[in-house]
Amino acid sequence: MTYRAPLGEYQFILNHVVPLAPVAGTERFAEAQPDMVDAVLTEAARLCDEVLAPLNRAGDLTPARLENGVVRSSPGFKDGFRAIADGGWVALAASPEFGGMGLPQAVNSVVGEMMAGACLSLQLNPLLTQGQIEALDHHASDEIKALYLPKLISGEWSGTMNLTEPQAGSDVGALRTKAERNDDGTYAITGQKIFITWGDCDFVQNVCHLVLARLPDGGEGTKGISLFMVPKFLPDGEGKPGPANSLKVVSLEHKLGIHGSPTCVMSYEGATGWLVGEEHKGMAAMFTMMNAARLAVGMQGVGVAEAAFQKALAYANERQQMGAIINHPDVRRMLSTMKAEVFAARAIGLACAVALDMARATGSAEWQARAALLTPIAKGYGTDAGCRVAETGVQVHGGMGFIEETGAAQLYRDVRITPIYEGTNGIQAMDLVGRKMSDGGEAAQRLLDEVEADAEAARSRLPDLAGAVWAAAEAQREATEALVAQGMLDRFAGAAPYLHAFALVLGGHFHLRAALAEGGAGPRTTLAKIFITRLLPRHAALLAEAREGSEDLYALSPEDLAS
C-alpha cells in the first residue's frame, strides 16, 4: 500500500474542530472560502499520491550523492520537485506582490503535512525555501526582495539556512564564521557550516544560503551575529545566475534516515554575501525563518505518523495469524491509539497555523500570543507523536517491521530527526516555560479558559468525556501557576513533561469537539473516548514530574552517573 492523503480528515478539522471560517472572514484571507480550499487540497493530494509518494522508497535506497563538488539527487526527485514548483506549491502562502498566492498558513500547513507523509526527504527542500521567503519578506531590503523572492517563490531557486557549526549547535552564539565588509557594500563570508539540509541540488538554477556570521565589531554571543544572503551563483541585476561564488559542499552526512535529502558540510571561503536586516541583529531575522520551520516540522511529524498508520492498518488487515491480526486486541489497541494521536497532533498543528493567520490578518496581540504559545507545543508534540506512531507501526508489523522491504522501518528512521532539528524538543519545551511564560502564564491561562468553557458546554451531551477534559485542563492550570512561581532552572527541569501534558489536554479538547460535531455517537466519538480515557490520563504523571524541580537531577554528579 502507498500513502494516500487523508483529505476527509483535513476537511473535517478545518470545518468543525479548528475552523478556518474566521480566517476566511478577514480581509486578508477573504479568498480562502471552502470551495477554493477544497479544490487546492484535492489537487495537492493528487500530487502527493501520484507523484511524490512513489519517490519515497527510491530516496531511501538511492541516497543523494556528491560527485565532483555537485550534489546529485535521488532518482525521480528532479521531476518531483518540478511538479511541486510548477504547480505553485512553493508559492502557496507567499506574498502576491512577488508572485505568491497569499493563502493562509493553515492551508499551507495541510499541504506540507501531506507532502511530508508522501516523501519527507523531498518535502524538506520546499519547506526550507518557504522559510527563507518568510525571513526575506520580513527583514530583507527592497532590492534583495525584488531580486530573490520571485525566483524562490517560483521554485527556480531554492533556499537554505546555515546556523550550525562543529562547535556551535544549539549554542548558536558560539559560531566562528566571519564576515568582513567589502568596499562595494557586500560582505566576505568565511567559515564552515554543518548539517545544512539541501545545501545543494541539481534541479534548481541557484541555491540561496542564509548564513549567520560575525562581523569584526560584533559582540560576543547571539547579540553580535549578522545574517547574510550568500548565493551559490552570483546573480546579475536581472536575476540571472552568473559566476560561481566562493563556497562549496565539502561532504554529505551518512544519516539514519531521510537519505534522499542531502545534509551538507558547507565551506565559505571569502564568499560574497549581502546583509539581511541590520548588522549584529541577524538572530531576529533567522528566528523568523526558524519559527516558520518549527510549525512545519511539527506537521512533518504528523505527516509521517499518518503514513505509518496507513501502512500498519493495511498490513494488519492483510496479515493472517490465527485470523487477520487486526482482530487481535493488542493490535486494535495499537492502531486505535495511533489514529487518536495523529488526530490530536494534527489538530494542535492546525490550531497553531490558524492563530498565525489570525495574528497576521488582524494584528491582534492575543492572537500573536496564542500563536507563540502553540508553536513549541505543535513542534514538540507533533514530532514526538510522529516517532511514537512510527515505532508502533513497526510493532504492528511484528518481525516484518524490522525488515526493510516492508517500508515500516524507513518511516521510523526518517521521522526520528524531527524532534532534533529546528530546535530540539527540549529547547522547545524550555521556550514554552521560559519566553512564552514571560507574561506570567496569561496566554496559557486564556487557552485553558477556552478548553474548560467548551468542556462545560459539552457536559450535558458527553458528561464523562467532558468531565475528564475539564479536570485535566484544571490540573494544567494549577501546574502552570506553580510553574511560573518557580526559578528558571526548576522550570526547565520540568519543561518537557509540562509540554507533553499540555498537548494531551489540547488533544482531549479537540477530540471532544470532534465528538460533538459528529453528534456524540459514531467513530469519531469512539476515537475521542479512546484518547480521553486511555491517553489523556497520562497527563497526571507528566505534571507530577513537571513539579519536581531540578534538585534531584543535580544531586547526581557526572561521576555518579558514570559509576
Residues noted as catalytic: 422
CB count within 10 Å of CB 49 equals 18
Q: How far is CA 391 from CA 6, 103, 308, 504, in A?
A: 20, 34, 9, 19
Helix (H) or strand (E) holding 249: strand 247-252
Would you call 172 helix, strand, or coil by DSSP?
helix
Q: Measure the CA dihedral 129/131/133/136, to 10°.
A: -130
Closest-CA residue to 277 (of 98, 423, 145, 422): 145
Closest-CA residue to 32 (of 154, 40, 295, 8): 40
Residue type, 320: Q
The three cell numbers locating residue 215 = 562581523
Compute the distance between CA of residue 15 and CA of residue 9 in angstroms, rounded to an integer. 10
Q: How far is CA 331 from CA 19, 307, 337, 412, 532, in A?
A: 33, 17, 10, 18, 19
Compute the distance between CA of residue 144 and CA of residue 275 in angstroms, rounded to an integer. 9
Q: How many helices (H) and strands (E) does the chain have?
A: 20, 11
Q: Angle between the 105-139 and 329-362 helix axes, to the nearest 10 degrees? A: 50
Helix (H) or strand (E) holding 6: none
> DSSP per residue over 205-230, as a string?
SEEEEEEEEE-TT--SSGGGEEEEEE
Closest-CA residue to 196 (of 232, 249, 155, 126): 249
Phi-psi region of 535 (alpha: psi -120 to 50; beta: other; left: phi over 0): alpha
> DSSP per residue over 331-390, as a string?
HHHHHHHHHHHHHHHHHHHHHHHHHHHHHHHH--HHHHHHHHHHHHHHHHHHHHHHHHHH
Compute the distance between CA of residue 349 and CA of residue 113 in angstroms, rounded to an integer. 10
Contact 321, 291 (CB under 8 A): no
Q: Is 421 exposed, middle or buried (0-12, 13-18, 19+ CB in 10 A)?
A: middle
The three cell numbers locating residue 45 = 493530494
Contact 94, 101 (CB under 8 A): yes
Would you call 551 helix, strand, or coil by DSSP?
helix
* Residue found by looking up cell 495499537 in the block: 334
Q: Rounded to a whole number, what is the largest CA-CA distance in the chain?
A: 78
Compute the distance between CA of residue 511 and CA of residue 457 in angstroms, rounded to an integer. 14
